[in-house]
């Protein structure tokens, strides 16, 4: 599954295309691993499809992970959340 990685001033954006079950597991493993090295990590996910959103939620909460996860339907809504909660500059 293709994954585009875009570095931003205060983080990284990963854009996944064609989410398949094995892809979800692989992406979840990467996210969980990242939170083990940085407990201040916040994951914002733009997921339009409700069925995929529910599958992703399984990996973003206890007992599999403890990082802060928020779901949005648009990238703009996610950037607004960042500006409000983190105070990051959002290009």
Residues 70 and 43: beta-carbon distance below 8 Å: yes
Q: Delimit the domains of the chain by residue range.
A: 3-85
Residues 33 and 55: beta-carbon distance below 8 Å: no
This prediction has a pTM of: 0.67
Kindly give the confidence (pLDDT) of every residue in the chain, 91 residues in length, as a single tens digit, with 9 standing for 90 and above: 577 788 888 777 777 777 776 777 777 777 667 767 776 777 788 888 888 888 778 777 676 666 678 889 998 998 898 888 875 444 4
Of 39, 85, 27, nearest in space to 66 by CA: 39
The continuous run of DSSP H or E covering 50 comes out as: helix 50-57
């Amino acid at each position: 599954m293709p994954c585009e990685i875009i570095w931003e001033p205060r983080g990284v954006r990963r854009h996944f295309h064609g989410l398949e079950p094995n892809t979800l597991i692989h992406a979840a493993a990467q996210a969980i691993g990242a939170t083990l090295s940085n407990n201040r990590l916040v994951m914002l996910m733009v997921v339009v499809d409700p069925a995929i959103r529910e599958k992703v939620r399984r990996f973003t909460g206890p007992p599999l992970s403890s990082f802060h996860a928020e779901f949005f339907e648009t990238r703009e809504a996610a950037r607004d959340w960042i500006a409000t909660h983190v105070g990051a500059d959002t290009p």
